[in-house]
Amino acid sequence: MSLFVFDLVTGGELFEDIVAREYYSEADASHCINQILESVSHIHQHDIVHRDLKPENLLLASKMKGAAVKLADFGLAIEVQAEQQAWFGFAGTPGYLSPEVLRKDPYGKPVDIWACGVILYILLVGYPPFWDEDQHKLYQQIKAGAYDFPSPEWDTVTPEAKNLINQMLTINPAKRITADQAINHPWVCQRSTVASMIHRQETVECLRKFNARRKLKGAILTTMLVSRNFSVGRQHTSPAATTSTAAMAQEACKSLLNKKTDGVKSQGTNSKNSVVSSSSTKDSSMSSTAPMEAQTTVVHNPADGTKGSTESCNNTEEEEMKGRKVSACESSTSSSVTLSQCSTLEDRSLLLQYPAAPSSRKQEIIKMTEQLIEAINNGDFEAYTRICDPGLTSFEPEALGNLVEGMDFHKFYFENLLSKNSKPVHTTILNPHVHLIGEEAACIAYIRLTQFMDAQGRPRSCQSEETRVWHRRDAKWLNVHFHCSGAPAAPLQ
C-alpha cells in the first residue's frame, strides 16, 4: 500500500501565475516543464502513474516569486509494476489522453509523458495540439498523432523545443521519451544557452484567454451533467423544470461552440486546458486537501457577496467508453472536451445573456450551501437529505474517482463518523463564487479551509476546493451534484 503525504499549497495555479508575469520566454517554459518532469520522474520512480496531468492539477507552493510547482489531485493515480503495461481502465481528461488509452491497449508510465507533451505545447503557444468540436474526431487526431507547428507563432520557437515535443508525443509508448530522458534533453538541462530568451507576449495573451475558458468550463459542464441526469427521467422531477434547465445548458454549449475561437488555431489546435505539474524529486509531498467536513462553518463573503476566485472543477472521467460517437451536448464526457475549447474572454458574456438574478439570489445559494455544511457538521443526516436531491451525484475523494449516485454512500459517513465525532473541527469557506445559470440552476465554487485535531491532539489545517450545483424545484433549492478535489482526508482518528 502506498502512503501519500500532501503539502498545503497556497500559491494558486501555475498558469494564472504565468499570465500575471511581465516577462515570459521560452526559457521560462523550459523551467516550468523541468519542474513538471521532475515531479513525474519522482512518482514514476515509485511506480505511480498520475493519469490526469492538466492545468488544474499544477499548483504553486506559495505566493512567493519562484515558488515550486506542486503536482495535485491523485484521485485517478494507479500503482504499476515497474515498466509493466496493463489495462487499468479508461481514465483521464479527453484533450490529454494518450493514443494507447484511446485504443484500450495496455498502458503505463508513458501516458503521463504524453500529457506532459500536450502541456509543453500549450506552454509555448497558449493553445493545445489536438482539437475538434466532435469528440470522436478529437480522439482520431490523438490516435494518429495529427498535430503540427503552424506559422507564425511556431516560427519563433527553437527547433530543440519542437524536438522535445515530438519525442513526448510519439504514438508508440515504447519509443516515447521517459521523464528522466526529457529532463536531460538539451532544451531543458541547458536552457540558458539553448532556449530562446525572447518575451512571448502573444503566448501570454493566448494563455490568458485559455485560463478564462477553463474558469467558465467547470460550472457549465457540471450543470450540463446534472441537466442530463434530470432529462433521463427522474420520476420526482418536474418535466417543465428539467426541460428548462437542460435547454439552457445545451444552449450555452451550442452558443459557445458556434463562436469562432479567438487566438486558437482552428486546424487541429484545441483550446483545452493547459497543464503544468511538479514537485521536487527530492520532495514527495504534494498539495493537500481538507478533512471530510467540519463541525463549525463560517462563510466569508466579499463585499458584494459574489465576487471571488473560482477554483476549477476536476475534469476527469473513469468510465469505459462504448466506442460510439457522441455529440457535444449528449454527455458530460463529450462536453468536457468541447466546452473547454470555446472562444475567448468574450465567452463570459454568453452566460450573462440569461436572465440575471439579483444579488440576493446569489446570497441565497451561499446560505443554502452554509446550511448544508452545517447539517454535515452536526451529523444530521435527516437535515442533509432535506437539502439534497435523492439522486445526488458526486465526485469525491472517498469514492476513489468514481461517480457516486444516491444517499447511501454518504449515509455511511454520517452514521459511522460525523455523528460520532466529538473532536472540534472548524471549517471556513473562502471566496464563494456563484454562477447563476438561468432561473432554476446555480453553481457555487469555493475554497474550504478546515482546522481539526489529529489523533495526538495537535491542531491541523487542510485545504480543498469544492463545487456544488443547485437546482430549484417547487420554489426550493436542492443540491443535485458536488465535486470535491483532493484525496480522502476525513479526520478518522
Assign 419 a pLDDT band (cuts: 50, 70, 90): low
Predicted confidence (pLDDT) per residue in 196-249, tens digit: 998 988 888 888 887 777 666 665 665 555 555 555 444 444 444 444 444 554
At residue 293, does pLDDT exceed 80? no
Per DSSP, the three-state class of 435 is strand
The confidence score (pLDDT) of residue 438 equals 81
Domain for residue 328, yes or no? no
The reply to whether 360 and 445 lie within a common domain is: yes
Q: With beta carbons less than 8 A apart as the criterion, state whether 351 and 435 touch.
A: yes
Q: Which helix (H) or strand (E) holds 249?
A: helix 239-258
Q: Please list the residues that pair with 403 across neighbouring strands.
A: 395
Assign 33 a pLDDT band (cuts: 50, 70, 90): very high
The reply to whether 63 and 175 lie within a common domain is: yes
The residue range of the domain holding 413 is 211-264+288-318+334-484
The reply to whether 165 and 232 lie within a common domain is: no
Predicted confidence (pLDDT) per residue in 133-184, tens digit: 788 999 999 999 999 999 899 999 999 999 999 999 999 999 999 999 999 9
The confidence score (pLDDT) of residue 226 equals 55
For 361-367, what is the mean pLDDT?
Answer: 88
The reply to whether 197 and 257 lie within a common domain is: no
Domain for residue 279, yes or no? no
Assign 18 a pLDDT band (cuts: 50, 70, 90): confident
The confidence score (pLDDT) of residue 374 equals 81
Cell numbers for 142: 490523438
Domain for residue 282, yes or no? no
Q: With beta carbons less than 8 A apart as the criterion, state whether 454 and 491 touch.
A: yes
Residue 190, C-beta contacts closer than 8 angstroms, at least 6 positions apart: none
Q: Please list the residues that pair with 449 across neighbouring strands.
A: 428, 463
Backbone dihedral region of 233: left (phi > 0), alpha (psi from -120 to 50 degrees) or beta?
A: left
The confidence score (pLDDT) of residue 135 equals 87
State how far the alpha carbon of 171 is from the alpha carbons of 101, 146, 321, 480, in Å.
Answer: 11, 10, 20, 40
Calpha distance 493→489 (Å, rounded): 11
The reply to whether 150 and 230 lie within a common domain is: no
Cell numbers for 388: 439534497
The reply to whether 46 and 193 lie within a common domain is: yes
Domain boundary among 209, 230, 252: 209
For 178-199, what is the mean pLDDT?
Answer: 94
- Per this entry, what is the length of the chain? 493
Predicted confidence (pLDDT) per residue in 298-353, tens digit: 333 333 333 333 333 334 444 443 333 333 333 333 333 333 333 333 333 333 33
262 catalytic per annotation: no
Select the more confidently predicted residue: 456 or 409.
409
Domain for residue 442, yes or no? yes
What is the CATH number for 38? 1.10.510.10
Calpha distance 282→84 (Å, rounded): 25
State how far the alpha carbon of 413 is from the alpha carbons of 74, 110, 425, 426, in Å.
Answer: 22, 37, 16, 18
State how many domains the chain has. 2
The reply to whether 108 and 183 lie within a common domain is: yes
Domain for residue 493, yes or no? no
At residue 278, does pLDDT exceed 70? no
The proportion of the chain whose per-residue pLDDT surpasses 90, expressed as a percent, equals 31
Which entry of 28, 52, 73, 347 is annotated as an active-site residue?
Answer: 52
Q: What is the pTM for the complete model shown?
A: 0.51
The confidence score (pLDDT) of residue 146 equals 94
What is the CATH number for 373? 3.10.450.50
Domain for residue 276, yes or no? no
Assign 116 a pLDDT band (cuts: 50, 70, 90): very high
Domain boundary among 209, 226, 244: 209
The confidence score (pLDDT) of residue 453 equals 78
